[in-house]
A and B are shown apart, each in its own frame.
Chain A
């Protein structure tokens, strides 16, 4: 029986936007299909084994906690995350975690280091936070665009470098910086996004895509009865106005 092994980075600090909902959706949707599931945590000061998981997850946190995690991640976990990405593990970073995937996150006088997995920088703006329901169009498989809907709430403005590809095209909301119409970042199986709310319960098709990608499965997963999930997705899209 296959098993999805998830490693949650800083689960006690980077969890502010109900990030456990994302992990719960992965767990249930694996188990309902007879796929084993295990989750481990990696906290401040813990060395990270790049082979410990098929999917690494980092959520959002308060400024103080994010600062602690940024330094720890850059100093202790950077190499392991690069190694995990290089062998095709999924790395999903949401909101505050997303801001740490790039080169740096500048917060006023202070600049937090990023892990450099993707070519982007983030700068905290004095302008109002970007808050609200949002929806984006993503094309994870060529020629098959799908919609992700969620909620964003961030003070940082993220700009992608020339070598980076956004996760999706903004349909509604603010996205990376409120200006360029881009949301998130994707480099292979490394994905960053500002969409929470949490993201996966209202976009279970994306949860299934992540499970497949993490396990390297070619064929689609067995279908589930997703009537309630479809209603939640429709509501989230409607809230965003899409």
Chain B
């Protein structure tokens, strides 16, 4: 047994002990143990992957984008080593590799597919030496944990510009996000993707929009089209920096409320209709990034399209669960840009909405709840029938909704997620209830649903 094999075995033993001890969220623990024993473990194990690795990061949508790529890879017959939803720091990446490692220097899987936390990208990329890096977007998120947006953008720029591994990778970048697109300016190998459909534009920039100023010269960008947050068609009138033309584009986008979406995937080689069971323009962006990454891996476009069609929502990402007569749809909210897209998708629904909104302020949610004031809950003002508010900061959320213009008699604060779910279900004659939980609230909600015997899809909680 080689030294690495011994360390792999030791880390696995810790993982199975933790599982037997009934500790939840143990997915990253074996990886953490392995990295403590062998700091170069990710590099050594990833080197066994015959087709190399790809890395996905973004503030919003990295879990869904990775699930989409996984679906395409499955369709293409490429066995992947994938850190599924959540475990996206070094420990999670190492755990996925550890699980796949085989004795004698082998590994079960050909391609590594790794979702990586924004703050871990610069530590994980040099180890993985990925062949492709998909960067989807950067939004204001958990300032108490992540710091300023500029700080993350600078760290990402260092990954793709300074580091050997970063420079060797093909970058797949969102042309519509100026912070992201700028990363490709001097890179040797870049694919840009973007939306080309003014019919889904929003009339003006939303309040929480970031990056309104040119990363190069500091002047204000001029936006000809705004699609989502600060994503759109922009240019700097001072230094001339502008949105690069996307070579993988979404045209003729159709948004079907909370039910799904579709678009034309347009590349140099033609046009294909993509049908998604995931709703909203944000999922069109996720699919577009996933498609661009898969195409860069030389996967045929018809395989990409059929792989995307088969993607089912991860838990908390627009998953539907039948509870008696009521269909519950769970939509994770965690930052202003993401919440805005959820709200935008909800208000397309014609009927008045019944909502269960759960705001927690635990570490994984961000202790600072100020973000709910940056999200445009005003969209809901005349659209809700009842909102049941719960969570450690239920009152704050109710106040936010009240000041957004929701009549106070439609706002109900109920302590405890289980009691709030019951109250919301009992008061949902429409037959549809939308749950909007923050991250740890999603875990609680999942626990309550599982206890009651409802089928909840495979999902791993992230390490915190």
Contacts and interface: CB of A to CB of B under 8 A. Distances in A.
Physical interaction between A and B: yes
A21 B392 contact: no
A65 B210 CA distance: 12
Contacts of A1: none
Given A68-B218, A153-B143, A231 B395 contact: yes
Contact of A235 (B144, B370, B393, B411): B393
Contact of B399 (A64, A129, A132, A229): A229
B398 A228 contact: yes
A131 B374 CA distance: 19
Interface in B207-234: 207, 212-213, 218
Contacts of B367: 131-133, 151, 239
Interface string B139-150: 010011001111
A131 B399 CA distance: 24
A231 B398 CA distance: 9
Interface stretch (A80-88, A162-170, A194-202): A194-202
Interface stretch (A11-19, A50-58, A102-110, A209-217): A11-19
Interface in A81-131: 129, 131
A24 B403 contact: yes
Instruction: Report whether over half of chain A's contact residues are helix, strand or loop; otherwise say mixed.
Output: helix
A231 B150 contact: no
Contacts of A196: 370
A20 interface: yes
Given A25-B403, A151-B144, A232 B395 contact: yes
A185 interface: no
Nearest to A65: B213
Contact of B411 (A129, A153, A228): A228
B368 A151 contact: yes
Contacts of B374: 18, 20-21
Q: Which of B143, B218, B402 has the most C-beta atoms of chain A within 10 angstroms of its own C-beta?
A: B143
Contacts of A15: 207
Interface of A: 12, 15-18, 20-21, 24-25, 28, 62-65, 68, 129, 131-133, 151, 153, 196-198, 201-202, 225, 228-236, 239
Closest 6 A/B residue pairs (Cβ): A231-B395, A21-B373, A18-B373, A232-B395, A18-B370, A232-B396
